[in-house]
Structure 1
């Protein structure tokens, strides 16, 4: 665990990197120390070694996150230099620590789609991620936060690839701050759910089309088949018409007979 003495070592250097507003430097350092302690609790020594984090780099990362939380700007170039890490490795470590401390940026699929100019993929990406989440929850016991930038971005990327919509994949990976191999693997998994969603929509569409076709055929068949009630009415009409015709003929014959007798 990092000591207060180690934070004091960085304190003088950090004062050259940040201009404090209402918050005092002490308050900022206390927030950084809090993050460092949480990191020691939540991260194993193995995971920290995998990130190549030393004592000083952990302090710098904690201070960087504290400054971000307190809405203070920092000189990223000097921060990276102080950490002793390469820029790319520092950015990856920063994102990993954010995830461990639940400080990661929350961005929706819709917001990402607007940023990357691919709003046409929003609905499909949301449905694919929902399908992925349901599948994961049915198999795994461990809870997973699917609102993180990683899942939101991967779902959007998977939908764009299927719909053949252009997006800056490299920029998205940099924004997420995750290794490309991890991102590509998640995108591949989500692409399977994109296909699953599209296939389910096709089945529903076919069922609806079939129902409409069946209804048309039914109506056509009914119109061609003889209607017993209509036949009965038609026969009754014919009988009435014949009786009236016969009556008129007899009346005309009687009138003609009377006229001849008078003459």
Structure 2
């Protein structure tokens, strides 16, 4: 787009500042270098003008800018976020800040684990080049964590990714399996342990109760016999020990006599 057409668009948006127009032209040039296409040249120019006006804090009519771009409101906002991300103009909010902003603090820990497992699943070469702190990954991880935890999530969270909906949805589908493993694993680890302890305790108690019942069912005479047998068993053990001890001493004395 030539400079004259660019200035006309700026004038229609109520932007006459040379500083704003220069900044917008620079954004337009960078968008062309990075091969970012937002539809037509005029729609890209309008987006660049809005970004320049916003960064330099110049007021303008956002609704009119959207109509002037020839794009519907939803597509315009996505294009704006995408170019803002590509040009590095978006203030990168951390995952915790995003969680606070969109009211999903409960999902923060799960989202962090999802990103960790996603990173470990990739080859070492890809892990080195990967930046999981970008808005695309942090917003997608939080969105996925909320979905796996069946918690309500503000759909505007997806707009913070700075990427097209198709890209965001594709990443969420890749993260989903990790989120499901984490959420199902958290509940499945605790249950078997509790159930196992219950079974062991019940079995021990049942055995003890069975022994007690057997004892109580015996007649007084049978109880006395069992008691006497127990005493006899203890006496036998003592006698065996004394016999063993006596033989050891005899052998020791014989060896001493021969030496």
- Pair in the same fold by TM > 0.5: yes
Preserved CA contact (<8 Å) 2:85 2:162: no
Which of 27, 41, 55 in structure 1 is aligned with 2:33?
41
What is the root-mean-square deviation of aligned Cα atoms in Å? 3.2
In the alignment, does 2:27 pair up with 1:28?
no
User: Could you list the per-position Cα deviations for residues 51-70 of structure 1 after superposition, in whole angstroms to 9, with x for gaps in the alignment?
Assistant: 42x12112111111111222
SS of equivalent to 2:143: helix
Kept after mapping to 1: 8 A contact 2:140/2:161 = no
TM-score norm. by structure 1 comes to: 0.62
1: CA distance between counterparts of 2:92 and 2:62?
A: 21
Which one of 31, 39, 49 corresponds to residue 63 of structure 1?
49
Q: CA deviation at 1:27?
A: 1.1
Residue pair 1:105, 1:148 contacting (<8 A) in 2 also? no
Equivalent residue number for residue 155 of structure 1? 141
Does the residue aligned with 2:88 lie in a helix, a strand or coil? coil
Q: What's the CA shift string for 1:191-239, capped at 9, x where partnerless?
A: 2223455688799999xx9xxxxxxxxxxxxxxxxxxxxxxxxxxxxxx
TM-score (norm 2): 0.63
Count of residue correspondences: 193
Q: Unaligned 5+ residue runs, structure 1?
A: 19-23, 210-263
- Equivalent in 95, 102, 105 of residue 81 of structure 2: 95
Counterpart mapping for 1:86-235 below 5 A: 86-136=72-122, 138=124, 140=126, 143-168=129-154, 170-176=155-161, 178-197=163-182
Instruction: Report what 1:242 is aligned to.
Output: none
Pair 34,136 (structure 1): closer, same or farther in 2 beyond 3 Å: farther
Asked if the contact 2:119–2:127 (Cα under 8 Å) also holds between the matched residues in 1, the reply is no
Q: Deviations over 1:55-88 (max 9, x none)?
A: 2112111111111222334321011111121112
* Structure 2 gap segments, 5+ residues each: 195-259
> What is the rounded CA distance, in whole Å, between the counterparts of 1:146 and 1:72 in structure 2?
33
Aligned to 1:85: 71
Shift of 1:156: 0.6
